Copies of this chain bind each other. A is one copy, B any other.
């Protein structure tokens, strides 16, 4: 910790790359919400639409396709009428969900700290503008 930089920077970017990949797949406001919503069992399209508050039909579809494509979701179509489709997390995604809980914990531990930091920052900005 707190040692000087030389060419360790190169190591830094290599360390970051896989993570950037993950977040590219998992990012987009909605992926996480969907994973969490699907975490405790098979869930249908309309249920997801209600569970992930604020999502539009379009974004739901797009995100579902991306998650399916990345092997995080499994899609089961029941050829009934009306149609019924269930989405289930893959094992891979279930591991991911467990990992994400660590992030949730972090978020909850520091939620108020972040809010406070913002408030301070904005206050400073107001002073410097006045």
Contact = CB atoms under 8 A, between A and B. Distances in A.
Nearest to A30: B20
B103 A99 contact: yes
A47 B5 contact: yes
Interface residues of A, number: 64
Interface stretch (A10-18, A56-64, A77-85): A10-18
Decide if the interface of chain A is mainly helix, strand, loop or mixed: helix
Contact of A32 (B20, B114, B122): B20
Contacts of A53: 13
A118 B27 CA distance: 17
Interface in A1-40: 1-5, 8-10, 12-13, 15-16, 18-25, 27, 29, 32-33, 36-37, 39-40
